[in-house]
Chain A
Amino acid sequence: MLDPEKIRKDFPIFKRKFKGSALAYLDNAATTQKPCQVMEAMDDYYRNFNANPHRGAYRLVADATERYESARKNIAAFIGARQEEIIFTRNATESLNLVATVVCQQAAPGSSILLTQMEHHSNIVPWQMNAKRHNLRIKYAKIRSYGALCMEDMPQELAIRPAVFSFTHVSNVLGTINDAVKLCRLAHESGALACVDAAQSVPHMKVDVRKIGCDFLAFSGHKMLGPTGIGVLYMRRDLQETLPPFLVGGDMIKEVTFEGATWNSPPYKFEAGTPNVAGAVGLSAAVDYLKKIGMEKIEKHEQELASYCREKLSGIPGIKFYGPKKGAGIVSYNIGKLHAHDVGQFADEDGIAIRTGHHCAQPLMKLMGEPATCRASVYIYNSEEEVHRLAASMKRAQKTLG
């Protein structure tokens, strides 16, 4: 187990009291809190190195460029990629928009896209919009009642020979961990490109793009201790060459005339405009922080804490859990017929932050037949004591409203 008390000392937000209690922050699947190390790295960048990278020939530009590119290198190594395979975006949503836009543009008209029923809106809506634009069809791989894909069904699902199969590595609603290695292999066997939404996995477990064998992998900085406004798209090198650019403008060009333009080499081809250098620097510091603890230890801590949380909540009359028992650090539940927002109100009063609602996955919620669930999602700074507080608060909600 990690030492959450020691880790919490790095996070200034935990000094703030909420109605007299320290904050029990259990909404880490939405976003995470930030350690001093990340804020200081960004502050240092703005105080000492700020300039527009890749533009101009003076010393400060070289400094800013060096910081931006070494952040890229550090983040690339963290997921087993080459430096130039990392494209900086705003967040996982923008990364998925990028993939959907450029892949659909090159897909043969009439071909299909395969997604799964457990995707959240970011891995549905960009495909829907681009499918409409390029006359493509979308299919959704079914999930079983226990909240996971059925591996035996997958060859059948992929028999439509989609142009691309895009799936979430870890479900933000159910905590299901998909077998990304196997899914990518099956996708490739059917001739599809494989895109992994890793927003809920990269922050919580060791992820290696070579081992997974994906063509694209998207994640957000803010869900892994980094700042908001910086995200990552890993794109396989040869695809970077053949796929068209996404947003266009400054920095992504090689030559512009009044008649047209040619593209810069990747990854710059996919990064238009002045980039979020401070964001990249902050995310790199977050990666350092996570590496220092160790991703294996983080994963173990979260799984143990999530299963402890299920155990402590299971005594509450009428409680129902969603998703597989053995999953990521996400516990989704409802208490009898109580509305998640009522339940969440009790947690809020006790200084506990949990997510209540549809978790930006309305099609999945509809499939589950629930308008909303409560979700507790843990991270490195969460403790068993916070789980006790949540359980006590939930008991109070059940007693008052039930």
Chain B
Amino acid sequence: MATADMYKENILDHYKHPRNRGRIAHADSEAHDSNPLCGDDITYQLTFENGRVSDIKFEGSACAICLASASMLTEEIAGKSIERARAFKKEQLLSTLGIDPGPARLKCALLPLKVMKLAVYKYLGKKMTEEDEKLV
């Protein structure tokens, strides 16, 4: 895949103008993870109300693919039921991103998904499934 395709307009838009970036004063759950190999570092904070994700924010320092993915994921997850957030598929996120990041950059795209799910699992007091553990 050519770079021009990888850095599509929607990716650049979310990278340059991230949605829901920042902190929540009283979050119900928070999770953080990093990829020391490339230095991507993402934190998610979530609040829940009536079984749904009522607020979601992220912060971090990462590459454009990772930051765009983190930003788009907040829009996908906000308002969803806890179970749908927990079960969110990587294919869904990749289709929202609209790119094939290729083997070298896949972990950049999927780190936010893993961290978001980690926050949900934490809230539920459950252990992450093996499949989700293997996301990154």
**Which of A's residues lie within 8 Å of B, judged by CB?**
19, 338-342, 345-346, 348-349, 356-358, 362, 371-372, 400-401
In the complex, what residue of chain A is closest to B3 when comparing beta carbons? A349
Across the interface, B12 reaches (CB within 8 A) one of A339, A345, A362, A400, namely A400
Cβ contact within 8 Å between A19 and B62: no
Give CA–CA (A19, B3) in the complex, Å. 11
- CB pairs A–B below 8 angstroms (27 shown): A19-B2, A339-B38, A339-B39, A339-B63, A339-B64, A341-B65, A342-B65, A345-B3, A346-B3, A349-B2, A349-B3, A356-B38, A357-B38, A357-B39, A358-B36, A358-B39, A371-B38, A371-B39, A371-B61, A372-B38, A372-B39, A400-B7, A400-B12, A401-B7, A401-B12, A401-B15, A401-B64
| Chain B residue contacts of A340, Cβ below 8 A | 38-39, 63
Cβ distance A332 to chain B, nearest Cβ, rounded Å: 15
B41 in the interface (beta carbon within 8 A): yes
B25 in the interface (beta carbon within 8 A): no
| Chain A residue contacts of B64, Cβ below 8 A | 338-339, 342, 401
Give CA–CA (A28, B81) in the complex, Å. 51
B84 in the interface (beta carbon within 8 A): no
| Chain B residue contacts of A345, Cβ below 8 A | 3, 6-7, 105
| Chain A residue contacts of B6, Cβ below 8 A | 345
Give the top 4 A-B pairs by smallest Cβ distance, nearest first. Answer: A371-B39, A339-B63, A349-B3, A341-B63
**Which of B's residues lie within 8 Å of A, judged by CB?**
2-4, 6-7, 12, 15, 36-39, 41, 61-65, 105, 108
Give CA–CA (A19, B1) in the complex, Å. 10
- Known A342-B64, A349-B2, A401-B12; 6 more pairs at CB < 8 Å: A339-B38, A339-B63, A341-B108, A358-B37, A358-B39, A401-B64
Cβ contact within 8 Å between A341 and B105: yes
Give CA–CA (A348, B64) in the complex, Å. 16
Cβ contact within 8 Å between B37 and A357: yes
Cβ contact within 8 Å between A341 and B38: yes
Cβ distance B92 to chain A, nearest Cβ, rounded Å: 23
| Chain A residue contacts of B39, Cβ below 8 A | 339-340, 357-358, 371-372
| Chain B residue contacts of A362, Cβ below 8 A | 36
| Chain B residue contacts of A400, Cβ below 8 A | 7, 12
In the complex, what residue of chain B is closest to A393 when comparing beta carbons? B3
| Chain B residue contacts of A339, Cβ below 8 A | 38-39, 62-64
| Chain B residue contacts of A346, Cβ below 8 A | 3
In the complex, what residue of chain A is closest to B35 when comparing beta carbons? A371
Give CA–CA (A386, B88) in the complex, Å. 44
| Chain B residue contacts of A356, Cβ below 8 A | 38
Give CA–CA (A274, B62) in the complex, Å. 46
Cβ distance B69 to chain A, nearest Cβ, rounded Å: 13
| Chain B residue contacts of A341, Cβ below 8 A | 38, 63, 65, 105, 108
Cβ contact within 8 Å between B12 and A371: no
Cβ distance A345 to chain B, nearest Cβ, rounded Å: 5
Give CA–CA (A342, B108) in the complex, Å. 10
Cβ distance A179 to chain B, nearest Cβ, rounded Å: 32
Cβ distance B107 to chain A, nearest Cβ, rounded Å: 10
Cβ distance B116 to chain A, nearest Cβ, rounded Å: 20
Cβ distance A393 to chain B, nearest Cβ, rounded Å: 9
Give CA–CA (A345, B1) in the complex, Å. 10
Cβ contact within 8 Å between B105 and A371: no
Cβ distance B103 to chain A, nearest Cβ, rounded Å: 13
In the complex, what residue of chain A is closest to B15 when comparing beta carbons? A401
| Chain B residue contacts of A358, Cβ below 8 A | 36-37, 39
| Chain B residue contacts of A401, Cβ below 8 A | 7, 12, 15, 64
In the complex, what residue of chain A is closest to B63 when comparing beta carbons? A339
Give CA–CA (A105, B62) in the complex, Å. 42
Cβ distance A70 to chain B, nearest Cβ, rounded Å: 41
